[in-house]
Amino acid sequence: MIRILLATCLLVLLSGCSGNQSALNTHGYAAETLKGLIVLIVAVCTVVWLMVVGFLCWSLAPRREAPRRDEDSERRMTIAVRRSVAATALTVAGLTVASFYTTRHLSSGDNAAFVVRAKAQQWWWQFIYQGQDQEPAFQSANELHIPVGQDVRLELESIDVIHSLWIPSLAGKLDMIPGRKNILTLRADRPGIYRGQCAEFCGLQHSHMAFVVVAEEEVAYRQWRKAQAAPAQEPAMSDAAAGKAVFMAKPCAACHTIRGTSAAGTSGPDLTHVASRQTIAAGLLETTRGSLAAWIADPQTLKPGNNMPLVPLTSEQLRQVSAYMEELR
């Protein structure tokens, strides 16, 4: 029975070593470097723990020895304490130096070919891409696209409280502090979708402040950039066209931007291509017409405390607006 319990506990622990949010399932230079540091620290701590436990067992083992004088016992104890303190100081100093040299080059991004401003706010992520090759700058929400095999410089900012950006498979976490810009360099070694998360408690919906990083080959990345930099297309369906009119007449246009229209709000996410994103509400829901309609109808029930107010819409208006959102690809 004990063996079964131990095996079960071990399997549960090992399950955390893989997946899209595991610091040990690395797919980038920064994450791989940090993984090496983690393994080093764990190995050193394991050796220290084994030595301490071994010494404790040795000291508690019964044995016969000739009686010693108090002076000898005191001298031996003093030598043991001094050696232990020296060994502790050397171990801590060594790990500190290793940590410093491991992390000092992970956040420069000086030679990065791509620069993205990442802004965190309660409780979503804003990613602003600089214009390149005569393309205008544009922004997205809760979804970061990067090219495989190239450094991307993330300029981290916070709008309200302290947040922390963490993409375990690609890089270590870095705090985002209001009034201060921090730099994080990302590089994905292979295509894939990686999960990111706010790693600093920032309020009621902290656990629902996630995003995805989509790493793709440069050709696909360039195509995505071109599509995202373009303004929103005019609605093709009559329901969507009616939904656009409702959107512009309601307070929605005062909070959100849809490039190519009169909507130019800045307090909410840019919705120009919202239907092309994998999720909405910072990873809370998959992007479908149903989830878009549910979010528009009652955002406070789905994510209490968020900054989107309840906009009064009739059932017909809700159907039309969700149809318009579904066409924004």
Encode pLDDT of 276-307 as tens digits.
999 999 988 999 999 999 999 999 999 999 99
DSSP string, 21-40: T-TTS--SHHHHHHHHHHHH
Q: Is the pLDDT of residue 170 over 70?
A: yes
Alpha helices in the chain (DSSP H): 2-14, 29-60, 70-103, 218-229, 238-249, 252-255, 289-297, 299-302, 315-327
CA atoms of 1 and 125, how far apart (whole Å): 48
Residue 219, pLDDT above cutoff 90: yes
| Predicted local distance difference test score (pLDDT) of residue 304 | 93
* Mean of pLDDT values over 143-168: 92
Q: Which CATH class is domain 238-327?
A: mainly beta
pLDDT at 70: 58
Check whether 102 has a pLDDT greater than 80. Answer: no
Paired sense of beta strands 171-176 and 163-167, if any:
antiparallel
The two three-digit tokens of residue 200, written as one number? 């600093």
- Asked whether the predicted pLDDT for residue 178 surpasses 70, the reply is yes
Q: What architecture is the 20-59+71-225 domain classified under in CATH?
A: Sandwich (2.60)
- pLDDT of 328 reads 92
For residue 305, CA distances in Å to 122, 283, 308 come to 9, 16, 9
DSSP single-letter state for residue 283: T
List Cβ neighbours of 323 (8 Å cut-off, separation of 6 or more): 235, 237, 239, 240, 242, 243, 289
Question: What's the pTM?
Answer: 0.80
pLDDT score for 8: 63
DSSP secondary structure string, 102-114?
HHTTTT--TT-SE
According to CATH, where is 2.60.40.420 located in the chain? 20-59+71-225, 238-327
**What's the CA dihedral at 196, 143, 263, 268 to 10 degrees?**
-10
pLDDT value of residue 137? 86
